[in-house]
Structure 1
Amino acid sequence: MIVVRVELHSAITRKVTEIARMRIRNAGGTKDIGDYSVETLRGRSRDQLDRGECQRGGEVKNYPRLRIHVWHLVARALIAMRYAGARELEEPGDLFAADEAAK
């Protein structure tokens, strides 16, 4: 499972506060192509988020695990849960294969 935590680091107090959390679970596929179950948790503090109550959920299907960076998986998860629009899908310049071929 991949856990994405969003933390606020205060420049004034130096306090670190977790304000959001997402879980991405492997739901099958192959070594190269994966399916994932995704969810964000309800709450704006670590105590609330630790309860594990689902805020929104979705699925990411046919994700090219090794071709593009994990941030694209996070973006697709947000799209699947309707936090962002479809325009946020991968761009050719973000593909690992394209970057390696250019070197």
Structure 2
Amino acid sequence: MIVIRVELWSAVNGQKSELARMVIDNIGGTNHLGDYRCRTLRGRSEETLDRALLAMSSTGIQREGRIVGHPRLREHVWNLVAKALTGMGYGQPKGGR
């Protein structure tokens, strides 16, 4: 499982706050082409995101998607993250999903 955390690091006091979290699970494929399930978790703090991750039920999932045939050895992991976010409708204008 790949876990992507978005954190805010304060330049004023050094405090760190987790704002969002996504998990990407390998669900199959071949040595070269991977299939993945992607989920963003519901919550805006480390505590609520931890609970959502442990429960991993429909109540803890904000959005879910799949990536099929990702060239895992040829492309950097950031390409997988970008595909996951795009596939779940992030980065699109409101109503574009």
Residue 13 of structure 1 deviates from its aligned partner by 1.4
Q: How does 1:6-45 map to 2 (within 5 A)?
A: 6-45=6-45
Cα distance in 1 for partners of 2:4, 2:50 equals 13
SS of the aligned residue for 1:59 comes to strand
**Is 1:68 the counterpart of 2:72 in the alignment?**
no
Choose between structure 1 and 2 for higher RCO, CA contacts under 8 A separated by at least 6 residues. 2
In the other structure, the counterpart of 2:57 is: none
4+ residue runs over 3 A deviation = none
TM-score normalized by structure 2? 0.85
Given candidates 67, 80, 85, the residue that maps to 2:87 is 80
In the other structure, the counterpart of 1:97 is: none
Question: Where is the helix percentage greater, Structure 1 or Structure 2?
Answer: 1
Q: Percent identity?
A: 55
After superposition, the CA RMSD in angstroms is 0.8
How many corresponding residue pairs?
A: 85
Q: What are the ranges of 5 or more consecutive residues in structure 2 without an aligned counterpart?
A: 53-59, 93-97
Q: What are the ranges of 5 or more consecutive residues in structure 1 without an aligned counterpart?
A: 86-103
User: Which structure: larger Rg?
Assistant: 1
Cα distance in 1 for partners of 2:35, 2:6 equals 23
Q: What is the one-letter code of the residue matched to 1:21? A: R
